[in-house]
Structure 1
Amino acid sequence: MPDLPAHEATRALFVETARHHRVGPLAHVLLRELEPDLATEFKIDRDTAIANHVSTSITLDAIGQILDGLAWATFKGPVLSEHAHPVPGLRIYHDIDILVSPHELRQAATRLLDAGWTVADFRDMLRNVDTPGEMHFISPSGTLIDLHWSMINMASTRRQFSVSTYEILERRVTVPLGLSSTWALDHTDALTHVCLHAALTGAHRMLLILDADQLARQTADWDSVVARAHHWGAQTALAIVLARSSALLNTPVPENLDGALGISTGLRMVTNAVDRIAPVPALRREASLARLVARSSRPGSGGTLTAVGTRGIQGVAHRLATSRRQPTHLHREPADTAALEAYLRAVETHAGVTR
């Protein structure tokens, strides 16, 4: 239970910070008995999370029927909400992530379109020469899904890691969700991906740290997790995220985890210093040193430290360029049939699919 002064400004800051870290629904549960007035501030967060999860469960059941016979799995949002959250069903998420193989992406997209779903991307997004690892659909009821053929969206980042969609789908498992069941990642893939995803987005929100904590607490076979991290090139991401989780939430991890992951003393000194200077719970904005370091996660300590310096310089240059640039309002065209075909062909070329 947080010790909150009665000062109105402090309590308002607490509400703002909890929402920034996307833990408003949990704050409601934590506060409703001892601080009912403050808990009321978060009631809408809790109600929204519950309604979203119920709606998503229904949509996932429909997706299962649409994609029946294809190899697919959902990950992140709904599965974490139900199976890796302190209060099941209260994790905040805004879309459904679906993974299919590059070989079956065209078939999955065609089935969704035939079922009345619409493409949510713009034309330039689907024609991007650095083919994104996902495209987006909206269901007839308005639910957004990210349809992935790769777990990593940006081509430049994808090349840094070895995350095979085919291997992940071979290991998929069924889990209960809502009143039905769905395909999901196996536990080792789920924990490794949660850490990699958190790191690549900055590991700067408590919700992402909490995801790692909850999955780590369910882990019995750490040798498999370490092996998967090495195979994917995600050792640094795993080390950074689980170190923050252990420091903030007392997550139980093996004492020799850094050694097993090959994390150098130099890198650990840097990450520990950053976490002291810019602790995640105190962050209330996107830009931060903690986010910079986590997003620089690369296979090997040397590659990560190099990426930290490179990203720092690029960030300064970007901010300077942005401050000098006049605002522009480009007219973006919704994706059409030709753009969709261009995207599907690019994915198939990338995967070596012959048609």
Structure 2
Amino acid sequence: MARLLLDAAFDRPAQRSAALDRATGSEIWEAGRLHRVTPAIARAVRGWDELPDGWAPALRSARERQLLRHLQALEDLKGIGAALDRAGIAWAAVKGATLASVVWPHADMREYFDLDLLVQPAAFRDAVRIVEDVGGRLLDRNWPALRSSRRGELAMVGRHGTHVDVHWHLAVAPSVRRAFPLDVDAMLARRRRRELSGISVPMLDAEDQALHVAVHAAQAGANRLMWLADAYYVTADVAWDELARRSRAARASVPVALVLDRAYRVAGHDGVGCEELAGVASNAWGRLARSRDARHPFPGLPGDARLGGGVYAAARPSAAVSAGQLAAKHVQARLIGWRHRAGRDAVRPLQEDVPDVAAREAYFATAVSGGRR
């Protein structure tokens, strides 16, 4: 099953075996859902004469649902993007829709559920208003909690029902922004327009997109095949020296190097094809990551207790700081587990309607200043 996931994610015809034929449709669906590549599995097995019992409905449903979400997201993107352009606001589409349509080999391979838009921090308040003007609405409305959290995004819903995350920064949490000071204004200044399913959409340039994908994957634990395939595909056209330079400027060389090293190894290569980043991936923290992968080969499957990606999420410029981050994330993971078992994570406090004009103004002031206030 792990080999099937790899074949699917990297656009290879899947190898069939008697052991794999014994897997149920629900088992295949769960494994694909864990790594967000179930639609890609449907492509990978197209050459099989017939599918094992129960596979066809599960794979067909996953592919059709993703295509429907994709079309829905494109409609919301078309309306919001045109309104932002008319207002003269610098913006770019990032993550799901752009990666699925432009970076991956086929738009029906990668699952995504949200439309992520990065807007110029100074125009964030105006951008949120514009999304509302074209039929969107806010989900995050707990203004005291937002002011306290200083999150780099607001969750909204587009006119056509797509979950839209409007970012004023690519790093949502303040702690991540402090650790990796990405220059959002510079990224937006370098953006390029690309055709996305017939729509002209501004996107980050190749190096900024690769930097963002790798940092995001690291913070999420780099433990989903989708994130590693993102990192692999997005670096196809990068200028490696420039990516390495921008990674250094953002103090993100270690997480970028570790994620790309894992992505290239999982795709079947010895490692990343950049001398500087390969050297970083060979440092003490990189060797720790490789040794864990050697003991517990990637990708993990549903129910595997070793799926956590703390080593990647904790990656910082030095091994000592990384070790401290790993300890802190271990405690955080235990707290999250406790909250889940207690049923406390069913409540989404940011989406409670808590009007507070002063808190709202303070949050937008933080966003407009790029987090400096």
- The answer for the alignment partner of 1:30 in structure 2 is 44
Q: Is the CA contact (8 Å cut-off) linking 2:223 and 2:308 kept in structure 1?
A: yes
Correspondence 1:176 to 2:220: no
Q: Deviations over 1:209-248 (max 9, x none)?
A: 11111112233x1101111111111111112211211221
Alignment TM-score, normalising by the size of structure 2:
0.84
- The answer for the alignment partner of 1:226 in structure 2 is 244
Tell me: CA distance 1:72–1:312, structure 2 relative to 1, closer, same or farther (3 Å).
same
SS at match of 1:135: strand
SS at match of 1:87: coil
Moved more, 271-280 or 31-40: 31-40
* From 15, 25, 48, the counterpart of 1:2: 15
Q: Is the CA contact (8 Å cut-off) linking 1:279 and 1:290 kept in structure 2?
A: no
Equivalent residues, number: 350
Opposite residue 191 of structure 1, the aligned amino acid is A
Per-residue deviation, 1:89: 4.0
Opposite residue 102 of structure 1, the aligned amino acid is P
Q: Is the CA contact (8 Å cut-off) linking 2:314 and 2:329 kept in structure 1?
A: yes
The CA distance in 2 between the partners of 1:323 and 1:98, in whole Å, is 29
The CA distance in 1 between the partners of 2:235 and 2:265, in whole Å, is 14
Correspondence 1:152 to 2:166: no
Tell me: CA distance 1:322–1:117, structure 2 relative to 1, closer, same or farther (3 Å).
closer
- The answer for the alignment partner of 1:65 in structure 2 is 82
The CA distance in 2 between the partners of 1:287 and 1:216, in whole Å, is 30
The CA distance in 1 between the partners of 2:285 and 2:263, in whole Å, is 17
The CA distance in 2 between the partners of 1:101 and 1:176, in whole Å, is 21
Q: Is the CA contact (8 Å cut-off) linking 2:138 and 2:155 kept in structure 1?
A: yes
Alignment TM-score, normalising by the size of structure 1:
0.88
- The answer for the alignment partner of 1:237 in structure 2 is 255
Moved more, 297-306 or 130-139: 297-306
Correspondence 1:269 to 2:287: yes
Q: Percent identity?
A: 26
Q: Is the CA contact (8 Å cut-off) linking 1:173 and 1:183 kept in structure 2?
A: yes
Q: Is the CA contact (8 Å cut-off) linking 1:236 and 1:301 kept in structure 2?
A: no
Moved more, 247-256 or 75-84: 247-256
- The answer for the alignment partner of 1:42 in structure 2 is 59
Tell me: CA distance 1:343–1:245, structure 2 relative to 1, closer, same or farther (3 Å).
same
The CA distance in 2 between the partners of 1:74 and 1:326, in whole Å, is 34
Per-residue deviation, 1:121: 0.9
Tell me: CA distance 1:8–1:63, structure 2 relative to 1, closer, same or farther (3 Å).
same
* From 189, 212, 217, the counterpart of 1:198: 217
Q: Is the CA contact (8 Å cut-off) linking 2:223 and 2:307 kept in structure 1?
A: no
SS at match of 1:132: coil
Per-residue deviation, 1:328: 8.8
SS at match of 1:209: helix
Q: Is the CA contact (8 Å cut-off) linking 1:235 and 1:300 kept in structure 2?
A: no
Q: Is the CA contact (8 Å cut-off) linking 1:212 and 1:241 kept in structure 2?
A: yes
Tell me: CA distance 1:14–1:325, structure 2 relative to 1, closer, same or farther (3 Å).
closer
- The answer for the alignment partner of 2:361 in structure 1 is 341
RMSD across aligned positions (CA): 2.8
Correspondence 1:54 to 2:58: no
- The answer for the alignment partner of 2:6 in structure 1 is none
SS at match of 2:149: coil
Per-residue deviation, 1:130: 2.8
The CA distance in 2 between the partners of 1:20 and 1:308, in whole Å, is 23
The CA distance in 1 between the partners of 2:102 and 2:299, in whole Å, is 24
Q: Deviations over 1:1-60 (max 9, x none)?
A: 233325765345333212211111110011122163245131111111222222222221
